[in-house]
Chain A
Amino acid sequence: MAKHHVSMTVNGEPVEFLCETQQTLLDVLRDELELTGTKEGCGTGDCGACSVMLDGRLVCSCLVLGVETEGRHIETIEGVAQGSELHPIQQQLLEDAALQCGICTPGIVVAAKALLEQNLNPTETEVRYWLAGNLCRCTGYDKIVRSVMNAAAKMREEA
């Protein structure tokens, strides 16, 4: 069977690609569209490194088929910074040294941004539960959670 021809938007830009049925959205982003900011950790929806937004909802791109995204809107880590200006969450993770190897970081940024877009004043518990699906084997989470809280505080001041 011929490959599927799929049209979607990524970070506001219309894109087209060809894929086989079993190729995931993660495969498509990395291998077909060369958007390698989204990382593969487990490939089974447990680690959250491949987090993206699908029509405004946080999902693991490894658990979405590329062919399912026809006509859908995808947002990835590449769309988070505005040019050279980092998103406040990215800036804060740097300032708080809340990353080490960095593999989980794109997923953390996408997931934390989704949280703060619906709740700019989360409790620590809310942050921890929201990010429970983003595994980090380096930091022990404490710096990440505090950094998201710090970013939220700064974004509230600027709002």
Chain B
Amino acid sequence: MEAIQYARPSTIDDAVSRLSETGARALAGGTDLLVQMRGGSVRPRVIVDIKGIAELRRVEQTPQGFRVGAAVAGAELGEHTAFAAQWPGVVEAFQLIGSTQVQGRASLGGNLCNASPAADSVPALIAAGARCTIAGPGGKREAAVEDICVGPGKTSLAPGEFIVDFFFATPPAHTGDAYLRFTPRTEMDIAVVGAGVCLSLDANGRCTAARVGLGAVAPRALLVPAAAAALVGTSVDDAALAKLAAAASAACQPIDDKRGTIEFRTRVAGVLARRAAVAALARARGQ
């Protein structure tokens, strides 16, 4: 059997060229790739370790927003106090992935590109309106997080493309985000349903903008504009929250499996979206 090659490029161009080879796989934290290799579901011809590229490993703040490298680990992002203060929902979602040990390695780019419908960070990234910078043979392009996954294990990235970083635009004052998931256990589990909400309020407490992301209720994480629209223009009162919950449930196209039934997931998506909205509201109010 042919030996697996290992490459550790230090530039984006070199990484694109290696990732364009047949059988190339990107390695960031390895918490999915190494498990898949051990299980025999993946046998790369070349492993391209993208952690040697500076752009993928940094967290940068400008007046326009935060740029977070795709290979930054959960523990590292959680320790970035300015990011954690602005995007607590993203951090709480990211840090639900696996154990302390997994947090030392797992990355946002990997969690997204593994394309599990139940990935915890993805609904929160969608709610936050995060945008990806993608490098590839055709140069760089941008895409919204919700446009990356197309189905279980499948992304819209072309051969040779990989995610360089995520951009989080500085939100207006009085913005809050939150992520909640349902699991039978409190730790070390995979979401049965996940819900991320980000909302902004004006000086009078009226919701001026909202985004709602749902996970584990469809072949890929969903942006649910109808659920967000239920909040905009309201004071996020009970009536608006009830509409949001109904819209979230209506957007679900879940499967039945050992972790939850279609009926359960559909109902819980509404409940969790509502609770996440209440948590985001409290943060937007500075509570």
Q: Which residue of B lies closest to A43 (CB)?
A: B38
- In the bound complex, do residue A132 and residue B31 qualify as a contact, i.e. CB atoms below 8 Å apart? no
Residues A63 and B34 in contact, CB atoms below 8 Å apart: yes
Range of interface residues on B (Cβ < 8 Å): 20 to 34
CB distance from A30 to the nearest CB of B (A): 15
User: Measuring CB to CB, which residues of chain A are less than 8 angstroms from any residue of chain B?
Assistant: 1, 4, 20-22, 24, 43-46, 48, 51, 54, 57-60, 62-65, 67-68, 111, 114, 129-134
> What are 29 contact pairs spanning A and B, CB under 8 A?
A20-B3, A22-B37, A44-B38, A45-B34, A45-B35, A45-B98, A48-B99, A48-B101, A57-B104, A58-B101, A58-B104, A59-B105, A62-B34, A63-B29, A63-B31, A64-B30, A64-B105, A65-B6, A65-B27, A65-B30, A65-B49, A68-B27, A68-B30, A68-B49, A111-B101, A129-B187, A132-B188, A133-B98, A133-B101
Which B residues are closer than 8 A to A by beta carbons?
3-6, 8, 27, 29-31, 34-35, 37-39, 47, 49, 51, 73, 75, 98-102, 104-105, 187-188
- Verify B101–A65 contact, CB threshold 8 A: no
Measured CA separation A102–B31 after assembly (Å): 25
The distance in angstroms between the C-alpha atoms of A3 and B157, with both chains bound, is: 31
Q: Is the CB of A45 within 8 A of B75?
A: no
Q: Helix, strand, loop or mixed for chain A's interface?
A: mixed
- Given the complex, which residues of A lie within 8 Å of B188, measured CB to CB? 46, 132-133
Does A4 contact B30, Cβ atoms closer than 8 Å? no
A4 CB, nearest partner CB in chain B, Å? 6
Q: Which residue in A20, A58, A64, A67 is a CB contact (below 8 Å) of B100?
A: A58
How long is the Cα–Cα vector from A139 to B243 in the complex, in angstroms? 48
- Contacts A20-B4, A63-B34, A64-B30; A132 near B105 (Cβ below 8 A): no
Cα of A54 to Cα of B27 in the assembled complex, Å: 17
How far is the CB of B262 from the nearest CB of chain A, in Å? 28
Q: Tell me, in angstroms, the Cα distance from A46 to B49 when the chains sit together.
A: 22
Interface pair A133/B4, CB less than 8 Å apart: no
Contact pick for A24, options B34, B100, B187, CB 8 Å:
B34
What's the minimum C-beta distance from B165 to chain A, rounded to whole angstroms?
21
6 interchain residue pairs of minimum CB distance: A133-B99, A132-B187, A21-B4, A57-B104, A1-B3, A21-B6
Chain A residues within an 8 Å CB radius of B99? 45, 48, 60, 132-134
Instruction: Give complex CA distance A43, B36 in Å.
Output: 11
Q: Which residue of A lies closest to B34 (CB)?
A: A63
**Once the chains bind, are A21 and B3 in contact (CB under 8 Å)?**
yes
Residues of A within 8 A of B29 (CB): 63
Q: Is the CB of B101 within 8 A of A22?
A: no
Chain A residues near B73 (CB, 8 Å)?
57
Output the least CB separation between A38 and chain B (Å): 12
- For A59, A63, A67, the residue with the greatest tally of chain B CB atoms inside 10 Å of its CB is A63
A68 vs B51: C-alpha distance in the bound complex, in angstroms?
9
Q: Distance (Å) between the CB of A31 and the closest chain B CB?
A: 15
Cβ of B37: which chain A residues have Cβ within 8 Å of it? 22
Query: Which residues of B have CB within 8 Å of A54?
Result: 104
The answer, among A20, A65, A114, for a CB contact under 8 Å with B34, is A65
Q: A57-B75, A63-B35 are in contact. Are A133 and B100 (CB under 8 A)?
A: yes
Distance from A111 Cβ to chain B, minimum over Cβ atoms (Å): 7
**Do the beta carbons of B6 and A63 come within 8 Å of each other?**
no
Other contacts beyond A44-B39, A60-B99, A65-B30: 20, CB < 8 A: A21-B3, A22-B37, A24-B34, A44-B38, A45-B31, A45-B99, A45-B101, A54-B104, A58-B100, A59-B101, A59-B105, A63-B29, A63-B102, A65-B34, A65-B47, A68-B27, A68-B49, A132-B187, A133-B100, A133-B101
